[in-house]
Amino acid sequence: MRRSCCLAVLVAAVSFAQAQLPQNFESEVDKICKEWNRPNAPGGVVGVAMDGKLVFAKGYGMANLETNTPNTRDTVMDVGSVSKQFTAMSILLLEEEGKLKTSDSVSKYVPELPDYGRPITIDNLLHMTSGLRDYISLMAVNGWNVVDARTFQDAIDIMCRQTGPNSVPGEKWNYCNTGYMLMAVIVQRVSGESLAQFAKEKIFTPLEMKDTQFVTDPQTMIPNRATSYQPTQHGYQVLFSSLAIYGDGGVHTTLADLTRWHENFYANKLGKGDQKLIDKMVTPGLLSNGSSTGYGCGLMIDTFEGLRRIRHGGNWLGYNAMTVRFPDKHVSLFALGNDGTNLSTPYCDSIARLLFGIKAATQNHKQVAVNTEILKGYVGTYRLPDGRIASISLAGDQLSAQVTGQPKFDIFPESETSFFLKVVDAQFEFVKDSDGKIGSAKIHQGGKTIDLVRTEPFKPNAAQLKALVGTYKSFEMDMEVTIRLEAGKLTCKTPDDLIELSMPSEDKLTAQGLQFDLVRDAEGTIRGLSLDLGRATGMKFIKQEGA
């Protein structure tokens, strides 16, 4: 296992292709990574690979605050969902060996899963078109905490209780961890080895990725691993998980090993050495209507500032990661953090612009001061085309936005009506009606615009609130919730928490990123709830008689 290198080795790595790197590249990257580049705080590591060589590698901040160990080029990081591409490659290697076909029905290998009336194929799992609900979202609402031990069987059990999918298999693309968890199960059942063993034998060892592994036991000791941290009001706290499920995540690796993995896309050494294996990895899946998903096998395929790009990110506990490959330039970028933020994605974008001499559109975003009274006028709820709700809130003079099923993000004004996010390249625009009132909004991100309609504040009457009171049970979630009305406020009691509910419309309840749709009978009487978690939708809760 490689340890921290001396400064001379780092300088040698940087100097390898000095002519290829822009002038003052390191100092400019230091500026980009300023939030990671702080003493006595966690941070991350950044790498640039050109023509198969790691030409820039640098650590920022601390890998471990307790031992005062800094992040270095050799720090081992948990890369979260970046792991998915290794699971996908394992499946394709099994197909090359003739042991399965990606056109096979998943039920052939995991027969205990429910039959939803249309076969779900391994290809659907690879390209995230299965329509399956996200098992992590389901477990989280079911009372699972990351410190609680959970196994593959726990994940399969909760999936077996689902009476329906999010959508018909093949009809929609929906990011979902369940498919990659199931492929880990398939690898084991087909090969007789765990995914961790199979990937080590078939991928990591042939590519000499000596510091890379799927971690199967959360208590495994890993030399040189960065600790996962989460910021608090008083500093940082360690985030630890006892989850023993992997395939959708679980890979721990280094900048050097990621460079070796990326280089294999140009000249495949795995399996039979056929480049067709790589072609399949980077070919986007298709929906049933023939349109592209933009998602290959554990890889997102898109463009960045006109350049073809293949990438994937990961977020797990306090770890955050982004790995990017520009195949036409033979350049890869890596940003792996342990500070509980999502800075790896914007850092990679900024470093790419620096590397290729592209002026960032986000550099034009300059924060300005906006009167608090104007900000108050934006507070409220806005409905997205898919029915989700964007809630705009104000704390002091800081405006924030939260879409159903997503975290809350601060938004910063560049004019009285235009706002931008600092953690990702996205903008929020408020639109005035002809009478000068804010009646709608727009989200601009990735070259696309989403139109939102402002919903008038709904004020339920006493009868509408009282009709909600009762206990609701869900077979799919194996849990019950109790809605109470006290002093005119609705609360929802779950097995582990008591949360306050709001009623943004006659048929919706929201709380902490959750959304319930009310289910009524022909007479309009409330008979149940339908839960929407973003990555898992439509879970049924039946109101109990007499409740």
List of domains in the chain: 80-360 (3.40.710.10), 372-455 (2.40.128.50), 462-543 (2.40.128.50)
**Largest CA-CA distance found in the chain, in angstroms, rounded:** 77
Residue 334 three-state SS: strand
pLDDT number for residue 4: 33
CB-based burial of residue 448 (10 Å sphere; 0-12 exposed, 13-18 middle, 19+ buried)?
A: exposed
- Give the three-class secondary structure for 382: strand
d(CA 93, CA 99): 9
pLDDT at site 1: 31
pLDDT of 496 reads 73
Phi first, then psi, for residue 176 (nearest 5°) are -150, 125
Looking at residue 318, its amino acid is: G
**CA separation for the pair 188, 303 (Å, rounded):** 35
Triad 289, 295, 296: Cα angle to 5°? 105
Chain centroid to CA 376: how far? Answer: 31
Burial class for 302, CB neighbours closer than 10 Å (0-12, 13-18, 19+): middle
Q: Could you give the C-alpha distances from 395 to 248, 373, 379, 401, in angstroms and in order?
A: 36, 12, 10, 11
Rounded CA separation 159/134 (Å): 9
Provide the token pair at 277: 């294996």
- The predicted pLDDT at position 15 comes to 37
β-partners of residue 126 are: none
Reference 260, options 359, 155, 332; nearest CA is 332
How far CA 49 is from CA of 115, 258, 304, 352, in Å, comes to: 45, 9, 17, 12
Instruction: Centre a 10 Å sphere on the Cβ of residue 25 and count the other Cβ atoms it contains.
Output: 18
Residue ranges in the chain modelled with pLDDT below 70: 1-19, 360-364, 405, 423, 446, 513, 546-547
Write out the E strands in 438-497: 438-445, 448-455, 470-474, 479-486, 489-493
Beta carbons of 304 and 322 less than 8 angstroms apart: no
Nearest to 28 by CA among 254, 347, 255, 366: 347
Q: What angle do CA 409, 414, 417 make, to 5 degrees?
A: 85
Start-to-end CA distance of the chain, whole Å, equals 61
- State the Cα torsion 353-355-358-359 to the nearest 10°: 60
Angle formed by the axes of helices 84-96 and 178-191, nearest 10°: 40
Q: Would you state the structure tokens that stand for residue 107, as one six-digit string?
A: 């039920």
Rg (CA), the chain: 24
Q: With beta carbons less than 8 A apart as the criterion, state whether 531 and 475 touch.
A: no
Q: What is the DSSP letter of 71?
A: P
Integer Cα distance of 264 and 274 in angstroms: 11
**Token output for 138:** 């389901």
Task: Look up residue 546 and give its two tokens.
Answer: 């007499």
With contact defined as beta carbons under 8 Å apart, do 143 and 479 qualify? yes
- CB contact at 8 A, 248 and 177: yes
Which residues neighbour 524 within 8 Å (Cβ) at sequence distance 6 or greater? none
Q: How many DSSP H helices and E strands does the chain contain?
A: 13, 29
pTM: 0.85
